[in-house]
Every structure is written in structure tokens, then in C-alpha cells.
Structure 1
Amino acid sequence: MAAAEKSGALDEGPFYHGTKADLQVGDLLTPGFSSNYRPEVIMNHIYFTALGPDAAGFAAALARGEGRERVYIVEPTGPFENDPNVTDKKFPGNPTRSYRSQSPLRIVGEVTEWARQTPEELQRWREKLVKAQGEIVN
């Protein structure tokens, strides 16, 4: 994918996005919504991973909202880059295979099975996120 080469991203897909939004194949995920981790921050990018459905499912579990957790297979519609919130800041070399784009992501499928965290594990992560003092690179 030319967008990946241009941005220095390591992956060409498949890509996944975890959310609680109820969407359909062909719908677009766009930036411009509140951060799941800092609701006062409006995000300039849409985030996704090539690590697999388990990673996206974890993000869906931590997402705000009341809907059921969903993992979508997505296709970037424009250039994307390594997520600077984790790449070379927390995990050099992007082992999380996390990316972001200012362009929409097109939903091309949905995954219904992935490894889910226990309620206790999710609560520990939520507590860590509340205590996190790092800045979001938006």
C-alpha cells in the first residue's frame, strides 16, 4: 500500500478497529470524536491496529459507551502513520502495530470472536488509565 510506504508504517494489513459503535460494512470511521481515555480531548485521528482482533477487542472493551463491543476489519482511505502515543515513546519500533490516520477508515468486515479480558483485568486497566499522566499526541 502506497500510504503505508509513504508514512513509514510497517504494515499493509489487515487492520482492525475496536469500538462500541454499531456500524455496517461500507460505513466510515472518522476522527473528530472524544478520546476514550481523556473525554475532554477531541481526537484529530482515527486509530487502528494490525496486531489482530484481540488487540482491537481490548480497545473495544475500554471504549466509552454502552453498546456491545465490536471489532471491525478496516481499510484506510488515505495516508496513515505509526501511532506516536506508543511508537518510540512507550514501545520503540511499534511492536503494538498501532496506527492512526486523519482520513476515514472504511469498514470491510466484522470479527465476532476474540480473546476477551476478565472484568477484573479491565478494571485494573481502567484504573491505570485514570492514573496515567502522559500527554496524548493529537
Structure 2
Amino acid sequence: MADTLDSGPFFHGTRAALVPGDLLVPGRRSNYRPEIVMNHVYFTALVDGAGLAAEVAALNDGAPHVYEVEPTGGYENDPNVTDRKFPGNPTRSYRTDAPLRVLREITDWTRLSPEALQMWRERLSAIRDGGGEIIN
């Protein structure tokens, strides 16, 4: 856990319906670039950041969910945002190549307005269409 800002609690946003005890594992398609199979599982210490991830997920085959999770192994700052886009780690975003264990669903996270959701989807579409790189 070298150079991470905190030790939790941690959250993961997704369209998948999960239950406590389920494991989120690497090797799944990216929420943002479904053509990419991810080598890591991503999570954050900000519940609303996980909510944003759930709402803008490209795999729109379910309702957005936010789960409190715990890493089962080591983790690192997410290089896709840390220092590359935001100096330090103000988004408190992390990734791991070990499973994340679902502890419980969180229901009191801030939902995006329809306008904000559309703005985020347009931003992500522009990144996808422009070949935005994911450090995998």
C-alpha cells in the first residue's frame, strides 16, 4: 500500500447486482471502454465517486449500484488519474490485481442530474472516440 492516501472505507460503482461476500475480480471488461479487458479492479474512498462510475458505466444493462468493498490484497493509486490528470490523488482512486470483497450495498449516494449525466457521457464518448488510453 505504498503511497496511498488512506485505508478506507472503499467503494466500487457498477451496474452489476451483487450481494455481500461476492468478489469483484480482474479480467472483466472496462466500464468505460468495453473492448478492453482490465487487469485490475478499480475502487475509490469517495462514495459519490463510485456513484459516478456506476452511472456512467458503458455496460448499461442494469441499475447503478454502489458497494462498500474491501481489498483482499495490495493496491496502488490509480495511474489513470493520479498525477496524470490530477496531482496527488484527490479522487482517492485505487486499483488492485487482487479481488475486492463486497461488504454491503450503499444506497445514500448522490445521483447525477440528467444534465450532469449527459455531460459525463459525452466526455467519456469523446475520450473513447479519440482513442483515450487506459493504463491497464
TM-score by length of 1: 0.91
Q: Which residue of 1 aligns with 2:51?
A: 57
Of 84-93 and 112-121, the range deviating more from structure 2: 112-121
Identity rate, percent: 62
The 4+ residue runs of structure 1 with deviation greater than 3 A are none
Q: Which residue of 2 aligns with 1:47?
A: 42
Write out aligned runs for 1:2-17 (5 A). Answer: 4=1, 7-17=2-12
Residue 82 of structure 1: which of 77, 86, 100 is its match? 77
What is the distance in 2 between the residues matched to 1:97 and 1:14?
11
What is the distance in 1 between the residues matched to 2:106 and 2:117?
20
Residue 111 of structure 2: which of 111, 116, 121 is its match? 116
Aligned pairs, number: 132
Amino acid at match of 1:136: I
Gaps of 5+ in 2: none
The Cα offsets for residues 97-118 of structure 1, whole Å up to 9 and x where unpaired, read as 0000000000111111111101
Q: Which residue of 2 aligns with 1:18?
A: 13
Amino acid at match of 1:61: E
Amino acid at match of 2:73: G
The Cα offsets for residues 43-63 of structure 1, whole Å up to 9 and x where unpaired, read as 100000012x21111111011
Question: RMSD over aligned Cα, in angstroms?
Answer: 1.0
Q: Which residue of 1 aligns with 2:133?
A: 135
Q: Secondary structure at the match of 2:135?
A: coil
Q: Secondary structure at the match of 2:42?
A: strand
Does residue 1:30 correspond to 2:28, yes or no? no
The Cα offsets for residues 71-95 of structure 1, whole Å up to 9 and x where unpaired, read as 1000000010000000010001000
Residue 94 of structure 1: which of 84, 89, 94 is its match? 89
Q: Which residue of 2 aligns with 1:69?
A: 64
Q: CA deviation at 1:39?
A: 1.4
TM-score by length of 2: 0.93
